[in-house]
Amino acid sequence: MKYVLMFVDTEEFHDTLQAMGPADRARAYAQAGQWFETHKDKIVAHGRLQDAETATTVRLDRSERGEPVVLDGPFVEGKEVVSGYAEIDVADLDEALRLVRTWPGCPVVEIRPVAS
């Protein structure tokens, strides 16, 4: 079964990462890199997204006017933003959960099945 893992940064996590010195930050990124290496047999694709400030959001207006509204920025409700993703191919949700429980990076991971 295929799932997409969406790695979600919180403001607190972002601030903590930015406050680290270069060596500590490099170690944190190396731990994430090692996680991808350890689970490479289950990872179909993955990527890191550019910072949220580079996002463009399109809100589709389904009212009479019907014009989409295009805005610079993520404009996601709340203080969390998706910073990366991985598509995995595992037996079931239980296996996906076991894999995510070992993720050393950002504090929130959303697991969503890929529609067939």
Q: Which residues have C-beta within 8 Å of that of residue 69, sequence separation ≥ 6?
A: 58, 59, 61
Task: Write down the pLDDT at residue 77.
Answer: 55
Would you give the DSSP letter of residue 53?
A: G
Three-state secondary structure of 19-35: HCCHHHHHHHHHHHHHH
The tens digit of pLDDT for each residue in 28-78 reads 999 999 999 999 999 999 999 998 888 887 777 766 667 777 666 655 556
| Structure-model confidence comparison of residues 82 and 44, the more confident one | 44
User: What pLDDT score does 73 carry?
Assistant: 60
Q: What would the mean pLDDT of 81-105 be, rounded to a whole number?
A: 94
Q: Where are the domains of the chain?
A: 2-50+77-113
Average pLDDT of the chain is 88
Q: Which of the two residues, 92 and 66, has the higher pLDDT score?
A: 92
Fold of 2-50+77-113: Alpha-Beta Plaits (3.30.70)
pTM of the model: 0.82
